[in-house]
Structure 1
Amino acid sequence: MTAASSAKVLSTELNKLTKEPVEGFSISLKSEHNLYEWKVAIFGPPKTLYEGGYFKAEMTFPKDYPYSPPTFRFRTEMWHPNIYENGDVCISILHPPVDDPQSGELPSERWNPTQNVRTVLLSVISLLNEPNTFSPANVDASVMYRKFKESGGSEDEYKTIIVEQVKKSQKDAERDGVKIPTTLDEYCIKWAPERDTVEEIESENFWYDDDDDDDDMDSEDFEDD
């Protein structure tokens, strides 16, 4: 797949997510000239440890997307069994579909070209609520989470850390001028971009020229300024 082909796929996904956003998420491009790097804001779901949180992340897409998976990295500090110290998310759907018996993952659980940004976002929010402690990226967080679950919440060190991180994220939201949903009804609002952004995305020549041959597309067209 050429850069032009992957750009077409990404522009289509961005357009669709703009019109039909995922509940609890807000997305935008890091730069209007680069389709391969997206900003993501995640609002903590009500009735979970992450309730009231505002967590910033980034998705980076390879030039052969959707044949290879994107990466998903939190920019907000996250204490979680499946999130590395640098913020990278360790989840099956983001792993290439290779046969790796030592990982404990089936090829069918890994990335394939039928996956998309929407399925990644939903998988990430599911992972926050239901960590996988069998192959942790953060062993200490995994041990702490197990104690928390197995004790019925009496061993609450894990919860305490998450609550503190939620409070810190709320200060980020205040600095960014973002209103965090506090009720289920607010959380279920589709967090769509402003109208001007929608109109830009829908512009026919915004990302690519249909008359151009894929091979004529230079990947530098999508680099940051």
Structure 2
Amino acid sequence: MGQASSPTTSALRALSMEFKSLQEEPVEGFSVKLADEDNLFQWEVAIFGPPHTLYEGGYFKANMKFPVDYPYSPPTLKFLTKVWHPNVYENGDLCISILHPPIDDPQSGELPCERWNPTQNVRTILLSVISLLNEPNTFSPANVDASVMYRRWKDSSGKDKEYENIIRKQVAASRYEAEKDNVVVPTTIEEYCIKYKSKPPEMEADLADFYDDDYEDMDDDLDESDEG
């Protein structure tokens, strides 16, 4: 626990490599930048609403904060843009299994395998968030009112418009924010799906080496009681 207040070398390495990877090989649906060039532990994220969903054309800004022992503990994600959604708290905090520590908690309805593990990364997190936008988890909602409203909309096959109308208003408001930020939001499948020029294989090899090295370090650092 003595290292809790200062970044570990493995965290700095992991974040540096991930950020570089996402700059060189962008992923459809989101973009990332550092909130402060000198701080790898706070990222600014822009998530674009997927085409053919209620969120199409939306531009949702969020902050990601990484713990000093990343990737062994998950980051947090907080929306800065207003998002009415069953899995987003009123204050913008996101509640999603992949960002929960891998403890066995039967009350949550989540399996340990659905939660965070050190092989996850920013890419897998943000793709999970995009998926969650369109397919909320209403089992244990962060926003009960949004969850009830979403179920009404779903059960009525879209005839109950309350949920849909709120989302569409938020998407429209987010477009003004995109214009202010000079961001062009993708609205078609063609625009949304970025075609990479090439995938740098050395990046995959670097990440594999990183995790191999660090699992050995982790075995030394963690008590047996922390397994799982």
TM-score range, shorter chain: 0.7 to 0.9
> Does residue 36 in structure 1 map to residue 35 in structure 2?
no
Matched residue, 2:176: 171
Superposed structure 1 runs of 4+ greater than 6 Å apart: none
Q: What secondary structure, in the 3-state scheme, does the structure 2 residue paired with 1:86 have?
A: coil
Task: Choose the corresponding residue for 1:6, options 7, 11, 22.
Answer: 11
Displacement of 1:189: 2.6
Q: What secondary structure, in the 3-state scheme, does the structure 1 residue paired with 2:56 have?
A: coil
Q: Aligned residue pairs: how many? A: 192
* Residues in 1 aligned to 2:185 and 2:63: alpha-carbon distance in whole angstroms: 19
Matched residue, 2:167: 162
> Does residue 120 in structure 1 map to residue 134 in structure 2?
no
Q: What secondary structure, in the 3-state scheme, does the structure 2 residue paired with 1:10 have?
A: helix
Q: Taking structure 1 as reference, are residues 124 and 91 closer, same or farther at Cα in structure 2, changes over 3 Å only?
A: same
Displacement of 1:16: 1.0
Matched residue, 2:140: 135
Matched residue, 2:208: none
Task: Choose the corresponding residue for 2:23, options 18, 26, 36.
Answer: 18
Write the deviation string for residues 82-118 of structure 1: whole angstroms up to 9, x where unpaired. 0001111100000001111111111111101111111
Displacement of 1:18: 1.2
> Does residue 70 in structure 1 map to residue 95 in structure 2?
no
* Residues in 1 aligned to 2:114 and 2:88: alpha-carbon distance in whole angstroms: 18
Identity of aligned residues (%): 69
Task: Choose the corresponding residue for 2:93, options 78, 88, 93.
Answer: 88
> Does residue 98 in structure 1 map to residue 103 in structure 2?
yes
Does the 8 Å contact 1:39/1:59 carry over to 2?
Answer: yes
Q: Taking structure 1 as reference, are residues 23 and 112 closer, same or farther at Cα in structure 2, changes over 3 Å only?
A: same
Q: What secondary structure, in the 3-state scheme, does the structure 2 residue paired with 1:115 have?
A: coil
Q: What secondary structure, in the 3-state scheme, does the structure 1 residue paired with 2:35 have?
A: strand
Segment drifting more, 74-83 vs 95-104: 95-104
Q: What is the RMSD computed on CA atoms of the aligned residues?
A: 1.5
Displacement of 1:3: 2.4
Higher RCO (C-alpha under 8 Å, 6+ residues apart): 1
Does the 8 Å contact 1:6/1:64 carry over to 2?
Answer: yes
| Unpaired runs of at least 5, structure 1 | 192-225
Displacement of 1:187: 1.2
Write the deviation string for residues 155-182 of structure 1: whole angstroms up to 9, x where unpaired. 0100000000000000101111111112
* Residues in 2 aligned to 1:3 and 1:34: alpha-carbon distance in whole angstroms: 14
Q: TM-score, normalised by structure 2?
A: 0.81
* Residues in 2 aligned to 1:86 and 1:3: alpha-carbon distance in whole angstroms: 30
